[in-house]
Structure 1
Amino acid sequence: MELIKWLENYYSSNCDGDWEHGYGITICTIDNPGWSIKVNLRETPLENKRPFQKYVVERTENDWVHCRLKDGCFEAFGGPKNLNEILEFFKQWAES
């Protein structure tokens, strides 16, 4: 639950009456099965943050994570039980 609280704080800290209408955070399920997360970094303190090492882990068919920066967004995909790992990776990068 701490990661969810952290994500709530990250999101609300960027809401300025404008940003949340055009940008934001999307968390969806995918049919692999698994998770897809997109965090739009435009107009946030993370927009030009570097460095970013693409993160790819393939443990098993259902235990995998791919994280990248693409077109001003943090994008991540993972297996059905990897949501916490994805959020932890984003948090660590954002706070580094």
Structure 2
Amino acid sequence: MEILDWIQDWFKNNCDGNWEHGEVIQITTLDNPGWEVEIDISNTSIATMNLEWILNEKSKDDWYGVKIMNQKFIAAGDAGKLKFLLGLFKEMIEKIEA
């Protein structure tokens, strides 16, 4: 399943009449250049999870970081990492729910 299909299904399956009214999934660009993905996990099985910022930087053009804080999954990466960042989220959800 393609990552966008998975994210759409995940969003739809977590809608409860209230949660989806917030800014649940945000994808923004960074000026270095890069991407930032922020996903509200308050309605999920990983809502209580916390993860300090982990940075994996091979070079200024090959990097990503991820953290879970205040019921938000936050990941950022270089301009080629959007699909990868969404995949990190999918991987975390699938591991917890397995």
Q: What range is the shorter-chain TM-score in?
A: 0.7 to 0.9
TM-score (norm 2): 0.85
Q: Structure 2, unaligned stretches of length 5 or more? A: none
* Aligned pairs, number: 95
CA–CA separation in structure 1 for the residues paired with 2:70 and 2:52: 15
SS of the counterpart of 1:46?
coil
Q: Structure 1, unaligned stretches of length 5 or more? A: none
Q: Which amino acid aligns with 1:10?
A: W
CA–CA separation in structure 2 for the residues paired with 1:57 and 1:82: 12
The runs of at least 4 aligned residues of structure 1 exceeding 4 Å deviation read none
**Cα shift at 1:70:** 1.2
SS of the counterpart of 1:91?
helix
- 8 Å contact from structure 2 (residues 49, 71) kept in 1: no
Q: Which amino acid aligns with 1:26?
A: Q
Report percent identity of matched pairs. 33
CA–CA separation in structure 2 for the residues paired with 1:10 and 1:38: 15
CA–CA separation in structure 2 for the residues paired with 1:2 and 1:26: 19
Residue 31 of structure 2 aligns with which residue? 31
Counting only pairs closer than 5 Å after superposition, residues 52-91 of structure 1 correspond to structure 2 as 54-91=53-90
Q: Which amino acid aligns with 1:22?
A: G
CA–CA separation in structure 1 for the residues paired with 2:46 and 2:23: 13
